[in-house]
Amino acid sequence: MPGIVARDPATGEVVTGGIEAETRQVLSSLEAILEAAGTSLRNVLKATCYLRNMDDYAGFNKIWKAYFSVNPPARTCIQVGRLGREFGVEVEVIAGLPSGPDTIFQGAMP
């Protein structure tokens, strides 16, 4: 899934209030997108997290742990020089689909 930033889905406006508010919005949006696709945060396999300032890591991690409290995915956190529109955080993930009769892809490719 491409990078998700702290944008209010109802208004399209940038969420303000610091790294914790931004992270909460990013992960809330991510959760909604995954559920609409038939999966969930439980099925996130790998996340790449971009922080504008690594000094924000503690606040980011506090919210991350609330969303991924059990079996968190593999994660890489990278400080970047600038995120678009002055966002403080962007997260992209790779998530699997749960297996079941309605799953389009089940198993390894030949």
Residue 27's identity, in one-letter code, is: L
Q: Dig out the tokens for 5 from the structure.
A: 């930033």
Q: What are phi and psi of 68, to 5 degrees?
A: -120, 65
Cα–Cα distance, 107 to 2 (Å, whole number)? 23
pLDDT tens digits, one per residue of 92-106: 999 998 775 454 444
Q: What are phi and psi of 84, to 5 degrees?
A: -50, 145
pLDDT of res. 29: 95
**List of domains in the chain:** 4-95 (3.30.1330.40)
Cα–Cα distance, 32 to 40 (Å, whole number)? 8
pLDDT tens digits, one per residue of 18-49: 999 999 999 999 999 999 989 999 999 999 99
pTM here is 0.86
- The one catalytic residue among 77, 83, 92, 97: 77
Cα–Cα distance, 1 to 95 (Å, whole number)? 8
Q: Is 49 a catalytic residue?
A: no
With H, G, I as helix, E, B as strand and everything else as coil, classify residue 38. Answer: coil
